[in-house]
Structure 1
């Protein structure tokens, strides 16, 4: 284990042991380096790594603090993982997204308040004007797509599930996904599937919501080029 890893592991143990809690300030550099038995340079590298992971954050001139440690913050680097994959890897990631969002739709169907259902309706209503302009504004369509799936995830009652889905909702990931979909009429088909999902949510029918979401995302998944086909094209 490297010295940097020792710092990361040491601070992690301090959090798990309750010696450091969300919002707490880390001990001064000299004291913390002595406690972890590492050099100040190694300590800085370890703290920098934890900052990237969302475990700590530094306030200029004030010190370094443990973050809230909420799932959304800690899982946000997942979006970077997706960004770094080539298009041939997208089907594998999308299949995970399908599993997550299918369950999210079922949970949201019984937990979305009327206001959230109305919000989802208003989001979908924006698609009509987008589809009536040629050529279709793909950037705007992606924004609406993200917003619709996001409002569902936000009402699952499960912050970990919501955070994982948010990772897959990154705009760059969605943009790459749409670039690979060459099916004619994909926007109209997607909108129709979103409408079916919304009707299931509005009816408070979790079984129907799961089926509609799974069907929608499976259709998208089937349209994605596989790694083999990409290699042939290149």
Structure 2
């Protein structure tokens, strides 16, 4: 091996290639979309096989650090919830955390998110929230459509907060909850609660659009203590 090349210990090739790539991203302060060294460049620079480099690329892709879909040149991935979704899903499936525990965390996040949305949201955010509110009312009774538009409503609030971490965590937390919510919706007759559910969403919308941060927090707190949360079935 050429002594001028970085030293690679044979026992942990893939891990060390992964760390090398992470170091390149860090030291060069690469931004999302920027290219990292290609497979060919890494094999030549590090003196390892293409298979080892591909394994490192795959590991970083799973972690949400690299986008390897473009082929020849992997790129730095934009912030996404893929890795967190995997962790939360695995934790729920293996019964290490419960849907109610995730809901509790989500409640804390969303109350703060509603406050920030009232303070930082734009007219575009408010317009999109109104569209989703109309859809929530329109599709009530169609459980899958309701879950879809409810998710969009809350994601727009998170985006409106101005803090990308709220949207990131909310997306990761919603995934393991949706199956439980769906099961609960199918197991109960919720038509008698229709107006209550719609009203609590409307209250959140109104307070956020009025830039009433305190009112938005109270409305969101009411949402998470309302009857719909009793529909979540523990696994």
Name the TM-score class by shorter chain: 0.7 to 0.9
Distance 1:159 1:184 in 2: 36
Asked whether 1:208 is paired with 2:194, we answer no
The residue correspondences of 1:70-109 to structure 2 (distance < 5 A) are 70-71=78-79, 73=80, 75-84=81-90, 85-86=92-93, 89-109=98-118
Higher relative contact order (CA 8 A, sep 6+): 1
| Aligned partner of residue 154 in structure 1, secondary structure | helix
CA separation in 1, counterparts of 2:54 and 2:153?
41
Count residues with an aligned counterpart: 218
User: Where does structure 2 lack aligned partners over 5 or more consecutive residues?
Assistant: 1-10
- Give the aligned partner of residue 117 of structure 1: 126
Name the CA shift for 1:214/1:4 in 2 (closer, same or farther; >3 Å).
farther
Task: Quote how far apart the aligned CAs of 1:11 are.
Answer: 0.8
Deviations 1:35-58 (A, max 9, x none): 446443222211111122332233
TM-score, normalised by the number of residues in structure 2: 0.77
Alignment gaps of 5+ in structure 1 = none
Q: Which residue of 2 aligns with 1:192?
A: 199
Quickly say closer, same or farther: Cα 1:122–1:41, change in 2 above 3 A: closer
After TM superposition, the score normalised by the length of structure 1 is: 0.77
Alignment of 1:28-177 (within 5 A): 28-33=38-43, 35-36=45-46, 38-58=48-68, 63-67=72-76, 69-71=77-79, 73=80, 75-84=81-90, 85-86=92-93, 89-131=98-140, 136-170=141-175, 173-177=177-181
* Structure 1 vs Structure 2 CA RMSD: 2.9
CA distance in structure 2 between the aligned counterparts of 1:143 and 1:28, rounded to whole angstroms: 38
* Residue aligning to 1:18: 28
1: distance between equivalents of 2:31 and 2:132?
A: 39
CA distance in 1, matches of 2:212, 2:184: 32
